[in-house]
Amino acid sequence: MSSKISLTRYLVEQQRIDGHIPSELRLLLEVVARACKSISQAVNKGALGGVLGTAGSENVQGEVQKKLDIIANEVLIEANEWGGHLAAMASEEMDSIYVVPNRYPKGEYLLLFDPLDGSSNIDVNVSIGTIFSVLKKGNDDPTTAEPVCEQDFLQKGSQQVAAGYCVYGPQTTLVLTVGDGVAMFTLDREQGSFVLTQEHVKIPEDTKEFAINMSNMRHWDEPVKRYIDECLQGKEGPRGKDFNMRWIASMVADVHRILTRGGVFMYPWDKREPNKPGKLRLMYEANPMSWLVEQAGGAATNGRQRILDLQPGHLHERVSVILGSKNEVERVTSYHTKV
């Protein structure tokens, strides 16, 4: 008999033994995982499946949408709309919220996602992924509640009840938290199921590796310039050690590396669009990743505040992101706050 633990068994045990999640949330997460499996199939087919290239449209951020951005968005909507666990969904690729149609039963959860993260890497066969976050609609009783609206989604990241991502790389790996640490599941393609391959993920508190898009250096704020400059001085500088750098340009892949071996990831505010707080999206990218990182013993701030404490003002809000190994994140944050 195999001692492998499937995602299904892990979730059942989270529900039954540990009482961490209600059955509706367990079933919802199973559906999200199934959708990720379909997206993984499409990603793997690449040019053979006609999924590469642009779709010829733009999203609400003014970014050109790739075919896979649209495909992944549709897969997630179609998989999740009929199950009866959700009230509505929100996506980086949709201007406004998607309310579960009246022909389906409604539930109390809200699902948010970045259907395809790392779009610029799709056509060049580099790791990409899906990021998701689950919130609970304020009023628990779906029969008496007001119709769901955008306001219901505007909850702090600390209110999330589940968060995760699926990275489509050399392996397809689903990474999940329901508030009881971080677990990783590798897709077994022969069996068609996600198998638990790491539990109690822990990010080392110290690191010698940073991830930032260095081409934006001239636009950065002083605290970020100072931090990176000190890293670059290596052994001879104030840090007294040499640093290594990685930038994959897929947040999922960069965060996956950090959860695996530590590091600090930064997409800070910069002067290119001074009125916008950063590039990454609070609700679809920063909140779920920050919760995963904190659950693994790391930290996540916008340079001044814990990301999970930020009150979102609107659905597509952007945010400055500094996350990863605790001591490095605290150092960068202190450079912003102690002048």
Choosing among ligand AHG, Mn ion, none, which partner's interface includes residue 120 (Cβ < 5 to 8 Å by kind)? Answer: ligand AHG
Residue 236 burial class via C-beta count within 10 angstroms: exposed 0-12, middle 13-18, buried 19 and up? exposed
Only segment of 22-30, 88-96, 196-204, 225-233 that touches Mn ion (CB under 5 A): 88-96
**Does position 254 bind Mn ion by CB under 5 A?**
no
**Does position 108 bind Mn ion by CB under 5 A?**
no
Helix 287-295 with 251-261: angle, nearest 10 deg = 10
Let me know: does 277 contact 268? Beta carbons within 8 Å: no
How many residues lie near Mn ion (CB under 5 A)? 4
Q: Among residues 23 and 120, whose Cβ is nearest to ligand AHG?
A: 120
Q: How far is the CB of 213 from Mn ion (least distance, A)?
A: 14
CA distances from 325 to 134, 212, 289, 298 (A): 24, 14, 13, 5
**Does position 117 bind Mn ion by CB under 5 A?**
yes
Q: How far is the CB of 301 from Mn ion (least distance, A)?
A: 19
Long-range contacts at 147-151 (CB < 8 A, ≥ 24 apart)? 147/99, 148/87, 148/88, 148/97, 148/99, 148/110, 149/97, 150/90, 150/96, 150/97, 150/314, 150/315
CB neighbours of residue 78 within 10 Å: 11
Question: Which residue in this structure is represented by tokens 């996602």?
Answer: 113
Let me know: does 253 contact 169? Beta carbons within 8 Å: yes
**Does position 317 bind Mn ion by CB under 5 A?**
no
Q: How far is the CB of 162 from ligand AHG (least distance, A)?
A: 20
**Does position 114 bind Mn ion by CB under 5 A?**
yes
Q: Among residues 135 and 251, whose Cβ is nearest to ligand AHG?
A: 251
Q: Among residues 81 and 114, whose Cβ is nearest to ligand AHG?
A: 114
Choosing among ligand AHG, Mn ion, none, which partner's interface includes residue 250 (Cβ < 5 to 8 Å by kind)? Answer: ligand AHG
Q: How far is the CB of 306 from ligand AHG (least distance, A)?
A: 20
Choosing among Mn ion, ligand AHG, none, which partner's interface includes residue 334 (Cβ < 5 to 8 Å by kind)? Answer: none
**Does position 81 bind Mn ion by CB under 5 A?**
no
What residues contact residue 9 under an 8 Å CB cut-off, 6+ apart?
Answer: 196
* Range 271-300, binding Mn ion (CB under 5 A): none
Residues near ligand AHG (CB under 6 A): 63, 92, 114, 117-120, 213, 249-251, 267, 279
* Length in residues, the chain: 339
Q: Among residues 54 and 233, whose Cβ is nearest to Mn ion?
A: 54
Q: Footprint of Mn ion on this chain (CB under 5 A)?
A: 92, 114, 116-117
